[in-house]
Amino acid sequence: MDLEREKEETKWFRKDGLRIKQTSEGKQTLVSVILDGYNICFKLMLFDFLDHIKEDLALDVKIKKIWNEQRVFVVDSKYVSDLINYIELFIGEWNIKISESTVSASDVISDELWYS
């Protein structure tokens, strides 16, 4: 993933249609994931993402709702790079794509909101 922007405690990464934003909050980091303009945190959960990452990397990742009730992953800041790398690999391995059956209009993330 390429570092796209950086401001204070937030970094934005991008690779093609995949965007990841990490925001440090002390010992924890919030990780937002959008694919082709949609928040896919819930979609990843449908693929048992949390179970896979716990099994494969022994990481304890939580879910938190933030702005506009959007879901984000929460991880210990020491392991944020591991989480981001795993997300990219997981999406490729499981061939995760956007489909109308697993995302909704409420999952759309505008650039204005993404970069705020």
d(CA 10, CA 13): 10
The pLDDT tens digits of the residues spanning 23-47 come to: 999 999 999 999 999 999 999 998 9
Give me the domains of the chain, ranges plus CATH numbers: 2-114 (3.30.780)
Is the pTM value of this prediction over 0.85? Answer: yes
88 Cβ neighbours under 8 A, 6+ residues apart: 1, 15, 18, 20
Please give the average pLDDT of every successive group of 10 residues along the chain, which has 116 residues. 96 97 97 96 94 96 88 97 97 92 86 91
**Per-residue confidence (pLDDT) for residue 77, from 0 to 100:** 97
